[in-house]
Amino acid sequence: MNNVENLSSSLEDYLETIYKLVKENRVARSKDIASELNVTRASVTGALKLLSSKGLINYDPYKYITLTDEGESIARKVARRHSILKDFLVDILSVEPELADASACKMEHAISGVVLDKLMLFAKYIKNIDGKCSKWFDDFKSHSMEKNDQTDQKSDKKTDENTSADRNSNRF
């Protein structure tokens, strides 16, 4: 167990990706992992060799990749953290799903179990309360959506200004 206690974020991402691919396809292939993670096949090979040496995956070059029991256990934990964080960001903070997914992917590696459990309890509480407490949550969501619209408008305006400046600079 000592050789898996300090897995890097990157190796956790590989395990999570293998877990996802195995759930969908029963096995994972090197090229599918590379595609999912947007990395080179050589990077995948290096990571797979390391994960195999730690006893977390079953790997032979040019064959399918599967998780060992220990690898699956770690991958499930990473996937669970990701799912809880993404749900919190989308359902409670009204973050757009794509941004929430990318943010959850970064956060899942650093968040402690205690903090994750508190976030989960808070989300359950917010979703299940009645009366005046739910009003403040609805107000927050409305306010958050207004802020998102304002941010989008500012971003669109900046893009328009940059596009206009680019067109003007190309006149000569």
Per-residue model confidence as pLDDT tens digits over 112-128: 999 999 999 988 887 77
57-75 pLDDT per residue, tens = 999 988 999 999 999 999 9
Domain boundary residue, one of 76, 107, 131? 76
Let me know whether 103 and 124 are in one domain. Answer: yes
Give the pLDDT confidence score for residue 27 in this predicted structure. Answer: 86
CA–CA distance from 66 to each of 11, 15, 150, 160 (Å)? 15, 10, 46, 48
71 and 125 belong to one structural domain: no
Range of the domain at 54: 2-76
Residues 56 and 72 in one domain: yes
User: Do 6 and 52 fall into the same domain?
Assistant: yes
**171 located within any domain:** no
Last residue of a domain, one of 18, 43, 76: 76
Amino acid letter, 93: L
85 and 72 in a single domain? The answer is no
User: What is the percent of the chain where pLDDT is above 70?
Assistant: 78
Q: Decide if 59 contacts 65 (C-beta within 8 A).
A: yes
The model's pTM: 0.74
CA atoms lying within 13 Å on the CB side of residue 48: 26
The amino acid present at 64, given as its one-letter code, is Y
Query: What was the pLDDT predicted at 92?
Result: 87
**How confident is the model over 141-159, as pLDDT tens digits?**
787 777 666 555 455 445 4
Beta strands in 4-160 (DSSP E): 57-58, 66-67
Q: Which of 52, 76, 100 is the last residue of a domain?
A: 76
In a domain, residue 22? The reply is: yes
Q: Which two tokens stand for residue 93?
A: 């903070």
The mean pLDDT of 120-143, rounded to a whole number, is 75
Rounded distance between C-alpha atoms, residue 60 and residue 64, angstroms: 8
